[in-house]
Every structure is written in structure tokens, then in C-alpha cells.
Amino acid sequence: MGFVTLLVVLFWLKTLLAYFVDFKLGLSDPFQFLILLLNPLATTILLFGLALYFKRARFFYPFIFLIDILNSLLLYINVIYFREFTDFMTVSTMLGYSKVDQGLSGSSLALTSPHDILYWLDLVLVLALMATRRIYIDPRPLNKRVGLAVTSSALLLFTVNLTLGEMDRPQLLTRTFDRTYLVKYLGLDAFTVYDGIKSQHTSELRSHAKKSELSGILKYVHKNYAAPDKSMYGVAKGKNVIILHLESFQQFLINKKVNGQEVTPFLNKLYKSKATYSFDNFFHEVGQGKTSDAETMLETGTYGLPQGSLFTQLGNDNTFQAAPAIFDQAGYSTAVFHGNVASFWNRSNTYKNLGYQYFFDASYYDTSGDKSLGYGLKDKLLFNDSVKYLQHLQQPFYVKYLTVTNHFPFTLDSEDSSFKTPNTGDKTVDNYFKTAHYLDQSIKEFYAYLHKSGLDKNSLVMIYGDHYGISNSSNKSLAKLLGVNPDDWNDYDNAQLQRVPLMFNMPGYKKGKVEHTYGGEVDVLPTLMHLMGMNTKKYIQFGTDLFSKTHNPVVAFRNRDWVSPDYTSIDGTVYSNKTQEEIHPDKALQAKLDAIQKHVNQGLNDSDSLNQKNLLRFFHPKGFTAVDPSDYNYSDGLEKEEKLEKKLGLKSTSLFSRNGDKSTQPFYKTDAPELGHKTTDSNRIKITNQDDTSGK
């Protein structure tokens, strides 16, 4: 019993360390503080107490250690995860984690901190004390009833805990959209078990889903539909679409100067160019799926999932009626260029269900030595090295470039940048400007190529930032650079900082301007399709065309907070955008705010139900042919392109064919120093292409 007590107390202390040092749980009163002290105890006693059912010492000791190690591991991965996502790890994230861990290793290391040793020290010490016999192994069997007594007191304690939690926060278990609450009131173990039960429930939902469940969703979508503005409809019809996905790129970088130097001079130029429609009130809406959530919204017009990533959880077998397939069926070639491995975010599987014809992932480039960083090939090289594949694609094409260099922890080899970083006291924040500057330069080089090759004349380039780069926990360090007193920084400021760029650039176009319309990532697909002269009415999409007169300007965040042109709602507290202060609405205004919240909830709920129950398998938009993922295989992309070129002969529209069957690579100029570096055996990422079975 003494041994169990010792381990329980040690684990309790570790949990409190995580609660008070690593997690930000937002304690507002002493009562919550009390619950917090109490909540690790019930589950720890329950779990560790199970060892007491083993009569023999040789089973008891290994078992209790195993439980302790597993529970410490759960605690520790949550500590790491929280540092990046300011959130707890769901069971589905954990299960999908193996698919995204490749490449995460680099930044996981950067997410560690010296005091992390305390999460493991107790186990080491106890083992050492046992080995040196300072803790004595007690062979005497315990009465069976001791185990039972411990289990029932733990359960009783848990009931007390739950009751206290419900007293402070009614409907604790039903309003689970906020994971912090669950951990704050019930502890990490209870949260994880509860979450596991919920994911099991979702998988059951899917198998019981019926076609009739579509009707409510269709009602919402039809009511929400915003007809295109006639003057904008089809302005880019027939053009190539080139999507530049700017990793972790926030709007505040635009026009920002650091030490007198512009951070992103080239993007700044594009931003204000007459050839560009830019948006300055455009927000990312991603959840835990980060980049993959941005892609989900962009390609499918539906939201990411409330927990985890849709790509990893549902990408293998969900039915989509998504942009790649829609463009494909309108006569476009479709491709993604990305310098990370294809398995990251389960992309290679998901892309097949989205209907992408080609995926030029890391296996298509020389990523060896210092050509890559933790998330893959450096951007300047990605753009340069993509040319040999891009030029063989039949036009018109719909292509997406996923950049990676501007990714946490924002490190760069010294020869890649001489940008003078600010000195905020937070290395992450300082370096962010350096990698953003690098990204800007790589876009500039790519644009020079577009111009030289003539591609710019018949292309629409859409540029957007996928999500924040600086997480809320670091925003205070950023505040000064933005001209705000760090002490005044609050939730409202965090929400406003979720702006990311969105630009539709058509070289040669003259009517562009900076639009102030409020919108979010879910609005991009209908906007783009209308610019391309494609009808969206027959599809199920949750956003609305940003250029439409009836566009809904409420931006829904994944956690149900929202921003509108006038108000910002965070966790039920509403701020006025004008005064930036919390408001105390009268009855009429409250009704208006409630209606907005209801709309936000419904959009998210309907999108979740559509995706989680895979309802699109029952939906057949007229003229759209269902995607068959087995039609796609992402190995030998170049060979496939060249075969098609040959087959089409004079009819081939690829840039290569149009250039008199000559490579356009000489048009590309990059100052990337790595270009001249020899290929080495070492690699910062592990390259695999699961479609390549040739063994080369």
C-alpha cells in the first residue's frame, strides 16, 4: 500500500507540474483551483490501484510500473502537443498520429524544455531505490478486499470530482467542444477515455447513417447559397489555376517592416497590384488538422473536423465532390507539388479520393543533405525543381504548391538568409520573420519564371496563408512589434490575429483592389469556382462567394468562436470590434448575437455530420462523376505526363510542347545555394512513395 501511495503521490505531483507550468487551463477562482488539485487523484488511484489485485509481488511490481510508464507517456505527449497546438491530444489524433509523425520529429525536439526531465525522473529514482534495496520489495500478498476498497474509493472520489465539476460548469460532458474544460475539471485520463468512447461512437454513426439525413443539410446549404456577382463570374474562365499555399503565413506580415526592412517585399507588391484582388479581413479557420484542415476547406468547401484531421481520419474512404475532381471533369489536369513525404497528413490516400491526378511529393526531388528542413524540401528548391514536372502537364491545369520552409520552429540554415531578425526575447517569434522573408523570395523567383515562360498570361494565381505561425502562447512577445502593449494583449487580440492573406492574382488584369469583405477559408472554393465561371449550386459547400452581394461575412472558427465585421465572440464573451471591449448587449442585440451563434453552430454541425457520416456517398450532383480512388497512382508521374504528351502529339498543350519540345528549366533562376550542393546519403526527412512498388 505504501508503494502504491508513493507512486500515486509522485504521479499526482507530475500532473500538477503539467497543469501549472505547461498547460494553460485558465483558472478563474479558488474553487476551480481546488478541483484541479483533486482531479488527477481519482483516476491515478483507480489505475494504479488495479495492481493491488495481483497477489504475487512479481506481477504486482511490473504491472504498476507499466501503468505508471503508460500514464506518464500520455501526460508527456500531451505536454509536447500542447506547446504547439494549445490543445490536448484526442484519441483520433493519437491513432492518426503515426501517419503524421514523419517530419514532426524535427519540431518535437524543439518543443522540449529542460524541466521535462521531471516527467520521467520519479520513475528512474524509484527504480534506482529499488535496485539499491532502499525501497524494499514486499512479497506479502494483500487481501483481495484491499484492491476492491481502493477501486471503490477511487470511483467515489471520481463521482465527487464530477459533481464539483458539474457544479462549476453545468453540461460539462455534453459541451465537449472545449477540451481544456474536460482536462481542467476531470483530468487528462478521464478526458482521454471519454474522447475514446466518443470516437467509437462516430464510427458507429457512419455505419448507421441514412440518405434522409442529407435533407436538413441541403436546406441549410441552399438557404446559405450566395449567387455570384455578374461582373466577377467567369473573369478567369479557362485559365490555369496555380495555388500557392503559404505555410504558417499570417496577414500581419504583409507590409510589415523589421529593423527598417520589409519582411515580404514581393508579396507586398502583389498585394497592392491592380492585377490582384486581395483580402485584408480574411481568416483561417483550421482546427487540429492545421495544414490539412486548410486543404480540406479549400478543396471540399466543408470544414475540418472538431477533433483531429479529416485527412487522417476520413481521407482513406470518404466520398468527396471536391475541386480536383470538378476541375478534372471540366478538362483540367490536376497536380500537387509538395516537398514532404506523401504520407504526411495521409495525403497520398486523401488526394486519390479528392481526385488529384498527380502528386509530386518528396520522392520526386533531391531532398538530401541541407536541401531540406524538418518538413521537407526548401521552398526555393521546390519551386525550381517542380518545373520539370509542371512543364509537362497538359493545360489548362489546376495545381497546388504546398510550401514548408516557413514552419515552426522557423529555423533556416545560415546561408539561406541574411535577414536581420527582431529581438523580442522569443526565438520562435524572431525567426518567423526570417523564414517568411525566405518564402517571399521563393515566390518572387517563381513569379519571374511564370513571366519568362509566359505562363502568367493564362493563369490565375491564388495565394493564401494556411493558418497562424505564432501560436497564442507567443503572441505577447509579438505584441510590441505590432505596436501593442503586451500587458493589454487579450483574447480579442488573439482572435483578430488569425487573419491570413488571400489574393487572386491575374497578371495583366487591371481591376484588382484590396477588398475589406470578412471571410474565411471555407469561402474560398465557391469564390474561386465562380471566378472560373463554374456553377457551385449543385454542390454541398458551406462557405459563400466573397464577391457575392449576399456573401455571409460571419467567420466561424473551428471551436465555434466567430468574428463578424462588428463583433468578435470568444468562448461566449462578445467584444465590439470598434471599441475592442467586451459588450453587455441589450435584449435586441442579444437576439441578433444568438442568431449568429446559431448559424455558426449549424454550419459546423452540418459539415461534421456530412463528413463523419460520409453522407456524400448518397449525394449525386448532376453531371458529376464519382471519383474512383483506384484510378490514381502517384508513382512515375513524369513518365505518365510524357506518355500523354506523345499520345496527343500536336494537340499537346503542355508548356514543354508549346515551347517547341524544349525544356523551360533555363527560364528558372534561383539563388538557392543548395542547388550546387552534391547529393548526399543523409536526409533530414525519410523519403517513401507508397505507390512506388518498383523498389528503386
Instruction: Show which residues are catalytic.
Output: 291
CB of 583 to ligand GP9, least distance (A): 34
Distance, in Å, from the CA atom of 427 to the CA atom of 118, rounded to the nearest integer, reads 24
Q: Taking a C-beta distance cutoff of 8 angstroms, is the pair 397, 332 a contact?
A: yes
Residues 6+ apart with CB under 8 A from 252: 482, 497, 499
The phi and psi torsions of 71 (rounded to 5 degrees) equal: -70, -35
By CB under 5 A, residue 652 contacts Mn ion:
no
Q: Taking a C-beta distance cutoff of 8 angstroms, is the pair 339, 377 a contact?
A: yes
CB of 247 to ligand GP9, least distance (A): 6
Q: Which three cell numbers stand for residue 108?
A: 518535437
- Of the two residues 404 and 461, which places its CB atom closer to ligand GP9 in the complex? 404
* Continuous segment of H or E residues that includes residue 267: helix 265-272
Distance, in Å, from the CA atom of 48 to the CA atom of 7, rounded to the nearest integer, reads 8
- Of the two residues 380 and 407, which places its CB atom closer to ligand GP9 in the complex? 407
- Work out the number of other CB atoms within 10 angstroms of the CB of residue 174: 7
- Any idea of the CA torsion for 513, 284, 260, 443, to the nearest 10 degrees? -70
Closest CB to Mn ion: residue number: 291
By CB under 5 A, residue 474 contacts Mn ion:
no
Q: From the list Mn ion, ligand GP9, none, which binds 392 (C-beta under 5 to 8 Å, kind-based)?
A: none
Q: From the list ligand GP9, Mn ion, none, which binds 447 (C-beta under 5 to 8 Å, kind-based)?
A: none
Residue selected from 466, 561, 641, 674 as contacting Mn ion according to rule CB under 5 A = 466
- Of the two residues 111 and 164, which places its CB atom closer to Mn ion in the complex? 111
Closest CA to 258 of 474, 482, 470, 417: 482
Q: Taking a C-beta distance cutoff of 8 angstroms, is the pair 372, 378 a contact?
A: yes
Give the residues across from 683 on adjacent strands: 368
Taking 3-state DSSP, the helix, strand and coil percentages for the chain, each rounded to the nearest 5, stand at: 50, 10, 35
Q: DSSP assignment, residue 194?
A: H
CB of 379 to ligand GP9, least distance (A): 12
Closest CA to 180 of 373, 326, 23, 408: 23
By CB under 5 A, residue 299 contacts Mn ion:
no
Q: From the list ligand GP9, Mn ion, none, which binds 40 (C-beta under 5 to 8 Å, kind-based)?
A: none
By CB under 5 A, residue 295 contacts Mn ion:
no
396 cis-preceded (ω within 30 degrees of 0):
yes
CB of 566 to ligand GP9, least distance (A): 31
By CB under 5 A, residue 471 contacts Mn ion:
no
- Of the two residues 158 and 345, which places its CB atom closer to Mn ion in the complex? 345
409 cis-preceded (ω within 30 degrees of 0):
yes
- Work out the number of other CB atoms within 10 angstroms of the CB of residue 101: 12
CB of 475 to ligand GP9, least distance (A): 18
- Of the two residues 340 and 505, which places its CB atom closer to ligand GP9 in the complex? 340
By CB under 5 A, residue 612 contacts Mn ion:
no
Closest CA to 506 of 320, 238, 132: 238
By CB under 5 A, residue 493 contacts Mn ion:
no
Q: From the list Mn ion, ligand GP9, none, which binds 284 (C-beta under 5 to 8 Å, kind-based)?
A: none
- Of the two residues 431 and 544, which places its CB atom closer to Mn ion in the complex? 431
Q: Which three cell numbers stand for residue 332?
A: 483540367
Q: From the list ligand GP9, Mn ion, none, which binds 619 (C-beta under 5 to 8 Å, kind-based)?
A: none
Query: What is 625-654 written as a DSSP string?
Result: PPP-GGG---SSHHHHHHHHHHHHGGG--S
Q: From the list ligand GP9, Mn ion, none, which binds 172 (C-beta under 5 to 8 Å, kind-based)?
A: none
Closest CB to ligand GP9: residue number: 290
Give me the sign of the Cα torsion angle 372, 375, 379, 385: positive
- Of the two residues 440 and 466, which places its CB atom closer to Mn ion in the complex? 466
Q: How far apart are the first and last CA of the chain?
A: 58
3-state SS assignment for residue 429: helix
Q: Which residue has the cell 488529384?
A: 356
By CB under 5 A, residue 428 contacts Mn ion:
no
Q: From the list Mn ion, ligand GP9, none, which binds 641 (C-beta under 5 to 8 Å, kind-based)?
A: none
* Continuous segment of H or E residues that includes residue 414: none
CB of 519 to ligand GP9, least distance (A): 21
Distance, in Å, from the CA atom of 32 to the CA atom of 607, rounded to the nearest integer, reads 34
By CB under 5 A, residue 498 contacts Mn ion:
no
CA angle 445, 449, 450 (to 5 degrees): 115
Q: From the list ligand GP9, Mn ion, none, which binds 375 (C-beta under 5 to 8 Å, kind-based)?
A: ligand GP9
Using CB under 5 A as the binding rule, the residues of this chain from 275 to 294 that contact Mn ion are 290-291
Closest CA to 682 of 369, 375, 378: 369
Question: Which segment (127-135, 242-250, 357-365, 542-550) binds Mn ion by CB under 5 A?
Answer: 242-250
- Of the two residues 367 and 394, which places its CB atom closer to ligand GP9 in the complex? 367
- Of the two residues 344 and 356, which places its CB atom closer to ligand GP9 in the complex? 344
Q: From the list Mn ion, ligand GP9, none, which binds 327 (C-beta under 5 to 8 Å, kind-based)?
A: none
CB of 427 to ligand GP9, least distance (A): 19
Q: From the list Mn ion, ligand GP9, none, which binds 404 (C-beta under 5 to 8 Å, kind-based)?
A: ligand GP9
Q: Taking a C-beta distance cutoff of 8 angstroms, is the pair 226, 529 a contact?
A: no
- Of the two residues 226 and 404, which places its CB atom closer to ligand GP9 in the complex? 404
Which residues of this chain interact with ligand GP9, rule CB under 6 A?
Answer: 103, 290-291, 340, 344, 375, 402, 404, 407
Using CB under 5 A as the binding rule, the residues of this chain from 337 to 356 that contact Mn ion are none
By CB under 5 A, residue 395 contacts Mn ion:
no
CB of 335 to ligand GP9, least distance (A): 16
CB of 290 to ligand GP9, least distance (A): 3
CB of 202 to ligand GP9, least distance (A): 22
Single-letter residue type at 610: L
Binding mask 247-266 for Mn ion (x = CB under 5 A): x-------------------
Give contact residues for Mn ion (rule: CB under 5 A): 247, 290-291, 466
